[in-house]
Amino acid sequence: MTYRFMMSAFWIATIAFPWMACAASVPSVGSVAPDFTLTSQEAKPVSLKDYRGSWVVLYFYPKDFTSGCTIEAHNFQRDQEKYKEKNAVVLGVSVDSADSHKQFCTKEGLNFKLLADTDHKVSSMYGSLTNLGLVKFASRHTFIISPEGKIVKVFTDVNPNKHSDEVLTMLAELQPKAGGSR
């Protein structure tokens, strides 16, 4: 399967058939976030449970090196200091390989973790897998997970240009004024 074919299928699916996006349902606000372990761009395992006690911004994105995904990643990178101030970590997930993530991070100057969901299990658990038969990719969804491990906000209609700002605004609303964590 050629890269050109995969990208054509990707764009047809996301623009012409957005209703095809997800087979599984998105976990609801108030539910415990499904735990997982995936490999990062540093070839190290990363588990959601490792971040208990911190806020987690778990964002799913379609593909490394595509325009919308690059914009979204750059904005999350730009705002890393703001996330740290809010005791929040950003974790990006796509079905690309850890090696692809490493190349993407190096080329784009990203220093937060991108996780490889090459078997599509985590994207499926979070209702964030687009399945076109031959082509599968993560849908652009974001979950804010509380320090206690509960999903407190779900974004399924994401504009990559302003999404990091939306997430930071929501974190400010969810967190108490004084301490930065709940």
CATH 3.40.30.10 given to domain 55-175: yes
Say which of 22, 46, 56, 69 is annotated catalytic: 69
pLDDT digit string, tens, across residues 39-92: 999 999 999 999 999 999 999 999 999 899 999 999 999 999 999 999 999 999
Domain ranges of the chain: 55-175
What gap in Å lies between CA 87 and CA 64, rounded to an integer? Answer: 26
In terms of Cβ atoms closer than 10 Å to its own Cβ (0-12, 13-18, 19+), residue 129 is: buried
pLDDT of residue 63: 93
The answer to whether residue 105 is catalytic is: no
**Reported pTM:** 0.84
Residues 56 and 145 sit within 8 Å (Cβ to Cβ): yes
What gap in Å lies between CA 140 and CA 162, rounded to an integer? Answer: 13
